[in-house]
């Protein structure tokens, strides 16, 4: 099933968890092995795969146990580099600038240019 915006959250959750379970099986990782890798209990993994008691932290540990945590970067990519970042990399500063000296307005008057 393709996950789309118009589907219910429970349906998407079911599909996503089924895919995660299948990925675990494809990697030939048992629930107990995944539990040892992630620090979660085998029961917590079993419940998660059934959609019970799902917590975000546990979900992220599950992904990490499957070496899939980095795939979230594709889902929500971080900010890219700005063009100004590239400019700064190739052109280091060459001068130091100091604040301009303030002129004393009491010493200067109109018509006193000569």
Instruction: Give the mean pLDDT of 16-21.
Output: 91
Q: Where are the alpha helices (DSSP H) in the chain?
A: 9-26, 31-38, 42-49, 56-65, 72-75, 83-90
> Which domains, from first to last, does the chain contain?
9-69 (1.10.260.40)
What is the token pair recorded at 26? 């494809």
Residue-level pLDDT at 86: 59
The residue among 36 and 96 whose pLDDT is bigger is 36
Q: How many CB atoms lie within 10 A of CB 35?
A: 20
| CB distance 11 to 51 below 8 Å | no
Whole-prediction pTM: 0.62
pLDDT of 53-112, one tens digit each? 888 899 999 999 999 988 888 877 777 666 666 566 665 666 777 777 776 666 666 776
**Structure letter (DSSP) for residue 7:** S
* pLDDT of 7 strictly over 70: yes
* Backbone CA torsion sign across 47, 45, 31, 17: positive
């Amino acid at each position: 099933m393709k996950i789309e915006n118009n589907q219910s959250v429970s349906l998407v959750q079911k599909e996503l968890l089924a895919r995660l379970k299948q990925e675990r099986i494809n990697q030939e990782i048992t629930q107990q092995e995944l539990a040892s890798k992630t620090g979660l209990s085998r029961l917590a993994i079993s419940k998660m795969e059934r959609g019970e008691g799902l917590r975000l932290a546990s979900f992220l540990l599950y992904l990490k146990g499957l070496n899939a945590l980095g795939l979230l970067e594709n889902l929500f990519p971080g900010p890219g580099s700005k063009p100004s970042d590239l400019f700064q990399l190739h052109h280091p500063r060459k001068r130091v600038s100091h604040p301009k000296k303030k002129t004393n307005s009491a010493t200067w008057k109109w018509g006193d240019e000569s």
